[in-house]
Amino acid sequence: MLKEAIEKIFDGEVLDDEKSREFYARDASIFEIKPQVIVRPKTRDALKALVKFVSAHRAAGDIKMEISARSGGTDMGGGPLGESIVVDFTAHLNKLIGLNKDEAVVEPGLFYRDLEKETDKLGVMLPSYPASKSICALGGMVANNSAGEKTLAYGQTEKYITEVKAVLSDGEEYSFGPLARKELEAKAAENNFEGKIYSKMRSLVFDNLETIENARPKVSKNTAGYALWNIWDGEHFNLAKLFCGAQGTLGLITEARLKLIPKKKYSKLLVAFLKDQKPVSEFARRALAYHPESIESFDDNTLKIALRFFFDIIRVMKAKNFLKLALQFLPEFFMVLRGGVPKLIFLVELTDNDEGKLDERLVRMRDDLTKLPITIRVIKSEAEGDKYWTMRRESFNLLRNRIKDKQTAPFIDDFVVRPEDLSEFLPRLDAILLPYSGKLIYTIAGHIGNGNFHIIPLMNLDDPETKRIIPELMEKVYALVLTFHGSITAEHNDGLIRSPYLKKMYGEKVYGLFEEVKKIFDPENIFNPGKKVGSSLEYALSKIKSKSK
């Protein structure tokens, strides 16, 4: 038995009971893949022993033995799912190793919420947190190159990662950080596994600099493929940047060093209601001129869901005065009664350390935006703003937990185009989705300042038509996204669902470089196979979960 064999060499829990296997078979995606065993390492030495164990079995011909890393389990693309061994980092490898106002050193199983408790005390933050920040962990944030509502002003996780430690396919732990050219040459000259990695990666990057730079998506966010363009910045060669977004396919991250930034003292929110999509690009252009920290959006379906499940929203907000909070929703009820539900709602957040300057900037932005055919509301209190943020952040969970006859089906959930193209792009997207309205309903939410949208359909996953519709819609939507030179995934990464489309996005040559990277780090294909490269859409579709389970 695999469990007994691993227990002999492993320091930590090894689980293969049915309940555990069913739990780890799912994340926030549409997939279900039941692993043989789940391991919870207590030490890094346990990870080394595990990798050597798997490597020996692969060498002996057991090609089905593999390792998939998992932290919070919030991935929406099936990234941490695997048929063999799933490593849960949250049970033990969850320590905050070091913290000051400039940086945090963390283990992959540390939940973001626990880091945030400590960074708040110092008045700093890691701003690349996703909407799932209350349940996600740092390992997943690094592996997925996470981003969220603060990314407009501060960028993705790739901007904050400086060093990682990881156990590679030889079963040893290595440290990757910024190397000057002389340091790189010295590393590449070493006659060992690490030296060979540096030698091969140096050649891959420097021999293809122009190709790699041209492959960089021309949008402000991206998690598709391997971020080869981030490795060499002209002064330093940093393979930690490659691990960021690699989704556990190159090795098992054991530690990450992340930069932190000061939080702004004051924040003000403006809410805009749009009856149609025509002013979207002009709205984005005008709002961006005032340097907002975030511009978030959600659509009419999201608002309808929030109003439909009004009491769920109230409960999420955990207000002490239930009646007072309920009364704060009256303007939205009256707005819907008078003029119907707005097509889109935008949340524009401005921040500053000088409250007077912040108020002045808010007034100027409000006056500028009111020239457009939209309705503007300046939020006067934090409590009033909370209801909009809750609608935006909780819509997916409301859909997932409260709609009983259909399931959330994220598969076109994370594309990104340039904000200036949105007024043209969105009507064409609607035209693609409209013929499928009988088979799915959906919400649209996103980060309008980045041109990044999340479309979360509700579908019956037991309907045989679903497996036809999913690839059909993906082909159409991604073709449209690439027509506008966008990316098929801004922050949710490739996983099972989008990896099969990477060759279409980047072309044969760049995809070939991705394959080389995988072979350099993981020649035996131990780590999370079928993600990034070597993927199969047919396999992914065969693993769509059943609603009845």
**What is the pLDDT at residue 513?**
98
Cβ atoms 527, 252 nearer than 8 A: yes
pLDDT band at 442 (very low <50, low <70, confident <90, very high): confident
Q: Rounded to an integer, what distance in angstroms lies between the CA atom of residue 489 and that of residue 494?
A: 7
Q: What's the whole-model pTM score?
A: 0.92
Q: Are 181 and 237 in contact (CB under 8 A)?
A: yes
Query: How confident is the model at residue 400, as a pLDDT?
Result: 62
Task: List beta partners, residue 441.
Answer: 458
**Interior/surface letters 153-192, b for 16+ CB within 10 angstroms, e for the rest:** bbebbbbbbbbbbbbbbbbebbebbbbeeeebeebbeeee
Domain boundaries, the chain: 2-90, 96-262, 265-402
Residue 33, number of CB atoms within 10 A of its CB = 24
Lowest mean pLDDT of 72-81, 151-160, 432-441, name the range. Answer: 432-441
Tell me: pLDDT of 385 over 90. Answer: no
CATH value of 265-402 in 3.60.110.10, 3.40.50.920, 3.40.50.300, 3.30.70.2190:
3.30.70.2190
Domains 96-262 and 265-402 equal at CATH topology level = no
Q: Which two tokens stand for residue 74?
A: 């919030």
DSSP for 478-496, please give it.
HHHHHHTT-BS-SSS--HH
C-alpha span between 131 and 135 (Å, rounded): 9
Is the pLDDT confidence value at 141 over 80?
yes
User: Which pLDDT band holds residue 320 (cuts at 50, 70, 90)?
Assistant: very low
Query: In Å, how far are 115, 223, 313, 523, 533 from 97, measured between CA atoms?
Result: 11, 27, 36, 31, 33
Model confidence at 349, pLDDT cuts 50, 70, 90, reads very high
Q: What is the mean pLDDT of the chain?
A: 91
**Quick one: fold of 96-262?**
3.30.465
| Rounded Cα distance, 41 and 90, in Å | 9
Extract the tokens encoding 320. 């002490």
- Residue 3 has what DSSP assignment? H
Distance between CA atoms of residues 139 and 246, nearest Å: 11
Among the residue ranges 194-198, 312-316, 347-351, the one predicted with the least confidence is 312-316
Element (H, E) at 12: strand 12-15
pLDDT greater than 80 at residue 304:
no
Query: Is 2-90 a CATH 3.30.43.10 domain?
Result: yes
Higher pLDDT residue, 437 or 141? Answer: 141
